[in-house]
Amino acid sequence: MRVTIFNEYLHELENDVVHDIYPEGIHATLAEAVTRLTGAEVRSATLRQQEHGLSQEVIDATDVLLWWGHKAHEEVADEVVDRVQRAVLGGMGLVVLHSAHYSKPFKRLMGTNASLKWREADEKERLWNLQPAHPILAGIPDYFELPREEMYGERFDVPDPDELLMLSWFQGGEVFRSLATWRRGHGTVVYFRPGHETYPTYHDPNVQRIVANAAAYAAARIRRPDTGSPETSPIEQVPNPGKENVLSATTAKREE
């Protein structure tokens, strides 16, 4: 499995609290965990690199892409977003983390606002396991707690997930669909809620396990573009197999 971790990598450089938690960047912490837990070959990509480190070559060599971003979603080039969307529809996996609910690739693949309620108040989050038999939840108990996290509250404006795997309880009174999957084209998209930059969430063993399992679950099994809509020959007999269609007819007429 070949994993690429995209991280915006700005807060870690600009803010002391975040830097102390993730001195090498969130991507480094995630890379260590995913490598350790899955044996995958992991590389990183960050916003300030050329093409955000996500050249066509890199994407073509990626089975699953992890995405963390927060304050600079708008700086991601549309060309790269097109590339990521095409790759997912062609089979690449995409694991969307925390504030990347607002990233361009996720919004593009969902077709919705991906909006939610939020609050940063050092409160407790408890994540409940709805499907202990699901591969993404292998090794995860019936619930686990994060002592301090940012709150995300419903209504989360996404299409109904194909699989709803965890629900969060927040100390301040809200709930959230925290782990969910959607198939888009030949690819699998996973969203996993926790991961606010000012808390050590990605050092938590349960969080690491879920991120690693999600990467393995979403990793491409095939890669097929399938972007076109081919005209196709009949398999059984049809009345008028060589019929000229309107577009050709019209074009022909115009070209006369």
Q: Which of residues 22-51 bind its own copies (CB under 8 A)?
A: none
Give the SS3 label for residue 65: strand
Binding of its own copies by 239 (CB under 8 A)? yes
Contact predicate 95/192, CB 8 Å = yes
Query: Of 32-40, 46-54, 56-64, 181-189, which segment contacts its own copies by CB under 8 A?
Result: 181-189
Range 140-179, binding its own copies (CB under 8 A): 142, 148, 151, 153-155, 157, 159-160, 162-164, 167-175, 177
Sign of CA dihedral 242, 246, 252, 256: positive
User: Which is nearer to its own copies, 50 or 222 (by Cβ)?
Assistant: 222
Looking at the Cβ atoms of 41 and 226, the one nearer to its own copies is 226
Our finding on whether 1 is near its own copies (CB under 8 A) is no
The reply to whether 18 sits near its own copies by the rule CB under 8 A is: yes
With beta carbons less than 8 A apart as the criterion, state whether 127 and 146 touch.
yes
Of 15, 39, 60, 79, which lies in the binding site for its own copies, with binding defined by CB under 8 A?
Answer: 15
Of 70, 144, 135, which Cα lies nearest the Cα of 101? 70
Within residues 75-104, the interface with its own copies by CB under 8 A covers 85, 89, 91, 102
* In the complex, least distance from residue 6 CB atom to its own copies, rounded to whole angstroms: 19
Interaction residues for its own copies, span 214-233 (CB under 8 A)? 220-222, 224, 226-233
Which residues partner with 125 through β-bridges? 146, 170
Rounded-to-integer distance, Cα 92 and Cα 188, Å: 7
Rounded to the nearest whole angstrom, what is the least distance from the CB of residue 96 to its own copies in the complex?
A: 13
**b (16+ CB within 10 A) / e for 159-171:** eebebebbbbbbe
Query: 205-218 and 26-38 helices cross at what angle (nearest 10)?
Result: 70
What is the distance between the alpha carbons of residues 122 and 171, in angstroms, rounded to a whole number? 10
Q: Is 56 in the site for its own copies (CB under 8 A)?
A: no
Q: Does 123 participate in binding its own copies (rule CB under 8 A)? A: yes
Size of the site for its own copies (CB under 8 A): 94
Residue 195 interacts with its own copies (CB under 8 A): yes or no? no
